[in-house]
Amino acid sequence: MDKIFVLALLIFLQTGTAFASVGTNTENGVNYKMSYPIVYTNDKAVQDKINQDIYHYIAAFKNDYNAGKFYQGRFLYDLKFENDDYISLTITDSRYNMGAAHPHAFVRGVVYDKHTGRKLPLSHFLKITVADLKWFYHGHLYSSSGNKINGWAEGFGSNGVSDDYYLLGNGGIALIYQTYALDAYAYGATTIRLTGDEVEYFNRKNRT
């Protein structure tokens, strides 16, 4: 057993901290590649609840692949943030249809409570309106590669407040918008990023 893992486990037993770690499982087929997370916690019920939710996304990808709904695909994840209370992940489901000019990727943001296993909605961390974002997102828009996008995004008004998000740390939050939703395909899934100070402001402004 890994010495670092043992040390972390001993610290948990002494402090009562909600321990969790994220492992990676891979699976490859003729026309697909998968790399997906498996969450381990000190509470099996919490662990099972989180992994069962993640499995819904895995199963949807595999079922659609087996049904021939797309030609080639990739499924991958990224651990965005973790502390004693939360695990924040993005899950990317990328599909290429036969004859299409390029693949299309859908990026989901999922945040789990490490104490209960519950998947938390955006409203747990942020209260914000479409009107807030309409004047705010300029200068806060980033491409999928993490580069700031200058200028105004196109067609924002019809997209509303995204349900997909991830935690940035220090109270910050990134709202995920799918490819084409706010800008050109080349930018991929874009994010509107708010600092912890900005999150506090909007929560204070919209608390009633």
Per-residue pLDDT tens over the stretch 103-162: 999 999 999 999 999 999 999 999 999 888 877 777 788 999 999 987 655 555 567 899
pLDDT given at position 8: 43
Q: 166 and 128: one domain?
A: yes
Does residue 6 sit within a domain?
no
The rounded mean pLDDT for the chain is 88
The type of residue at 122 is L
Contacts of 43 (CB under 8 A, 6+ apart): 18, 115, 117
| Count of domains forming the chain | 2
Answer with the residue of higher pLDDT: 21 or 34: 34
Closest by alpha carbon to 126, among 153, 91, 163, 96?
Answer: 163
Asked if 93 and 127 sit in the same domain, the reply is no
Q: Is residue 11 one of the residues assigned to a domain?
A: no
- The answer to whether position 1 is within a domain reads no
17: pLDDT strictly greater than 90: no
Q: Which two tokens stand for residue 110?
A: 């999922």
Given phi > 0 = left and psi -120 to 50 = alpha, else beta, which region is 32?
Answer: beta
Same domain, 140 and 106: no
Please tell me whether residues 32 and 55 are part of one structural domain: yes
Global confidence as pTM: 0.86
Residue 100 covered by a domain: yes
- Residue where one domain finishes, among candidates 85, 113, 141: 113
Domain boundary pick from 94, 113, 132: 113
For residue 22, give its domain range.
Answer: 18-113
- Alpha carbon distance 123, 126 (integer Å): 5
